[in-house]
A = this chain, B = another copy of it.
């Protein structure tokens, strides 16, 4: 019902259209993978001819990078809002782990794996990935420093601790495409445990806090609901070029 085969052409402002394109691409990146960001695929999604996408992004690679940035940025803002709100660092960190652990985070893990691999062949994407790695690191490090400043956390080197946490998260996410679950609880909790250990928190602090937050939740900025595109179809169509 969304689009009749022959729709009257709709003219939008460049800014709107561009945003629409990037959003659609980000949604596809998240659900189907960065390789599926294709002139034809995005055009179909928006009920628009492929050439139009080409018009806004003369080089598809730039759209891919942009889409990754949008998706990763949105997730980061969900997990670690730049605006600290009125919560304690411990609460914020607990919330972070609650959201960054479990199957709900799998799409994001997949996206990161996807992007880190594709970076091998796409310089523009590689830059964007590097940029967002720095963003995530910075945001988490700020949180750690806040916690240290107000006495909730204890660590000699917030920077190192931050990276340690991120390394474990990356390591846990590496299998998002291969092993679904069936991992011991201890492993699933590994990121939290690392944080608690390195921040001088009593074991269980972050998890208990997280459970409490779960109960009280409802004010969260909204979980993962990027855009339309309801179709998490797993088997797309065709090609993956190494160089465009």
Contact = CB atoms under 8 A, between A and B. Distances in A.
A174 interface: yes
B242 A242 contact: no
Interface stretch (A1-9, A79-87, A116-124, A204-212): A116-124
Nearest to A120: B177
Q: How many subunits of this chain does the assembly comprise?
A: 2
B183 A163 contact: yes
A178 B116 contact: yes
Contacts of A20: none
Determine the interface band of chain A, counting residues with CB < 8 A from chain B. Answer: 35 or more
Contacts of A181: none
A235 interface: yes
A190 B164 contact: yes
Contact of A242 (B35, B116, B190): B35
Contact of A175 (B133, B175, B235, B239): B133
A167 B164 contact: no
A45 B199 CA distance: 52
Interface in A76-131: 110, 112-114, 116-121, 126, 129-130
A6 B166 CA distance: 54
A112 B187 CA distance: 20
Contacts of A239: 239-242
5 contacts: A119-B177, A163-B187, A166-B171, A170-B174, A174-B174
A174 B171 contact: yes
A174 B168 CA distance: 10
A187 B167 contact: yes
Nearest to A114: B117
B184 A160 contact: yes
A25 interface: no
A130 B168 CA distance: 20
Contacts of A118: 117
A172 interface: yes
A184 B175 CA distance: 26
Contacts of A190: 164, 167
A179 B33 contact: no
